[in-house]
C-alpha cells in the first residue's frame, strides 16, 4: 500500500469513528441516521458535479453500485440499533472486526489478494480478540446490540467488496458514493417509517438535534469518500483492515463519553487491533 493510500485510509478511519460517536450521542440513533445520510447524499451530489466522462461505463459497474447501496442500508440500520443498545467501543469493535473476518477469505478467493502467514495470524488474532470480548455474551439490550453489530459486520464486508467490484468496472468514486447512499436513504426511511407512528413523528425525531446531524453527515462524507479513493489503488482486504484502526479511535471517543470497558474487553479489543495491523502490513 502506498503512503498516500495509507494516509487516506487512516484519515477515513478517524472520521468514521468520529461520526459514529456523534450518532451515539443522539437520543435516537435509529432515527438520526436518516438525517445523517440525507446530509451525506447532498454532499455526495455536490462532489459528483465535477465528474467528467461516464459515471458508470459498464452495466456491471452500475449493478455493483446498486448492490452496495442495498448493503449500505442494512449496515446503517444495524449500526444504529447496535449503538442504541451497546457501548460504542464494544459495538464498533465487533462490527469492524467481524467484517474483517468475512472480507479476507472472499478477497483471497474471489479478488485474487495474496494470502500470507502474517495475514493468517492477523485473522486468528481478530477472531481471538472478538471471542475474548464476548466470552460471556452480554444479556439484555447490550446482548442485542452485539448481535446487531454482527449483522452490521456482514453488511460492511458486503458493501466494501461491492465498492471494489464497481471501481474495478470503472465506476467513478463520486458517482458510486452518491448512488449507493442515494439507494440506501429511501430504504432506511421506509424501515424507520414502519416503526414510527407517522411521518411527523419520524421527522420530529430526525430534527431533534439538527446541528449534530449536519456535522455527522459531513464527517460521514469525508470518511466514505476517502475510503473510495483508497480502494481505487489498493486491495479491499488491506484497505478495510487498516481502516479498522478506527477501533482505537472509537475506544478513545467512547472513553471521552464516559464509557468504561472491562479489562477482558479492552484486551480483546487490543487483539483485534493487533490482528488488523498484521492483516494490513505491507507485503514485499
Q: Tell which residue, 9, 39, 52, has the closest CA to residue 229.
A: 9
Crossing angle of helices 29-48 and 199-206, in 10° steps, is 80
Measured in whole angstroms, how far is the alpha carbon of residue 267 from the centre of its chain?
A: 22
What pLDDT was estimated at residue 67?
94
Query: C-alpha grid cell for residue 52?
Result: 467528467
8 A C-beta contact, residue 226 and residue 11: yes
What pLDDT was estimated at residue 88?
77
What pLDDT was estimated at residue 3?
67
pLDDT in tens, the chain (284 residues): 566 767 787 888 889 888 888 888 888 888 888 888 899 999 888 888 877 778 899 999 999 999 999 998 898 888 888 888 888 777 877 887 778 777 767 766 666 666 667 667 777 777 677 667 655 556 677 888 888 888 998 998 888 888 888 888 888 888 888 899 899 888 888 877 776 666 776 777 777 788 888 999 999 888 888 877 777 766 666 666 667 667 777 777 777 767 666 676 677 777 777 776 676 565 55
- Provide the domain limits for residue 64: 3-280
Distance CA 48, CA 186 (A): 20
Total structural domains within the chain: 1
What pLDDT was estimated at residue 276?
67
Task: Name all contacts of 261-267 with Cβ < 8 Å and 24+ positions apart.
Answer: 261/87, 261/89, 261/90, 264/132, 264/133, 264/135, 265/89, 265/90, 265/132, 265/133, 267/129, 267/132
What pLDDT was estimated at residue 234?
67
Measured in whole angstroms, how far is the alpha carbon of residue 107 from the centre of its chain?
A: 17
Amino acid at each position: 500500500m502506498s503512503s498516500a493510500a495509507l494516509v487516506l485510509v487512516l484519515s477515513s478511519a478517524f472520521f468514521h469513528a468520529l461520526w459514529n460517536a456523534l450518532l451515539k450521542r443522539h437520543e435516537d440513533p435509529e432515527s438520526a441516521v436518516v438525517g445523517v445520510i440525507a446530509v451525506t447524499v447532498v454532499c455526495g451530489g455536490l462532489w459528483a458535479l465535477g465528474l467528467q466522462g461516464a459515471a458508470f461505463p459498464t452495466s456491471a459497474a452500475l449493478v455493483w453500485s446498486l448492490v452496495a447501496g442495498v448493503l449500505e442500508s442494512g449496515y446503517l440500520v444495524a449500526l444504529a440499533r447496535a449503538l442504541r443498545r451497546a457501548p460504542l467501543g464494544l459495538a464498533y469493535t465487533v462490527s469492524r472486526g467481524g467484517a474483517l473476518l468475512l472480507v479476507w477469505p472472499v478477497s483471497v478467493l474471489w479478488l485474487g489478494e495474496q494470502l500470507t502467514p502474517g495475514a493468517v495470524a492477523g485473522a486468528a488474532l481478530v477472531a481471538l480478540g472478538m471471542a475474548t470480548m464476548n466470552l460471556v455474551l452480554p444479556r439484555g439490550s447490550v446482548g442485542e446490540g452485539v448481535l446487531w453489530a454482527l449483522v452490521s459486520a456482514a453488511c460492511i464486508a458486503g458493501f466494501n467488496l461491492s465498492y471494489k467490484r464497481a471501481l474495478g468496472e470503472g465506476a467513478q468514486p463520486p458517482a458510486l458514493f452518491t448512488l449507493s447512499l442515494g439507494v440506501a436513504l429511501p430504504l432506511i426511511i421506509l424501515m424507520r417509517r414502519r416503526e414510527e407512528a407517522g411521518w411527523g413523528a419520524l421527522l420530529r425525531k430526525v430534527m431533534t438535534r439538527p446541528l449534530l446531524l449536519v456535522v455527522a453527515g459531513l464527517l460521514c462524507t469525508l470518511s466514505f469518500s476517502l475510503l473510495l479513493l483508497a480502494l481505487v489503488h489498493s486491495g479491499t482486504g488491506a484497505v478495510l483492515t487498516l481502516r479498522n484502526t478506527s477501533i482505537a479511535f472509537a475506544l478513545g471517543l467512547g472513553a471521552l463519553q464516559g464509557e468504561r470497558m472491562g479489562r477482558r474487553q479492552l484486551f480483546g479489543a487490543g487483539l483485534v487491533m493487533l490482528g488488523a495491523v498484521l492483516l494490513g502490513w505491507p507485503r514485499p
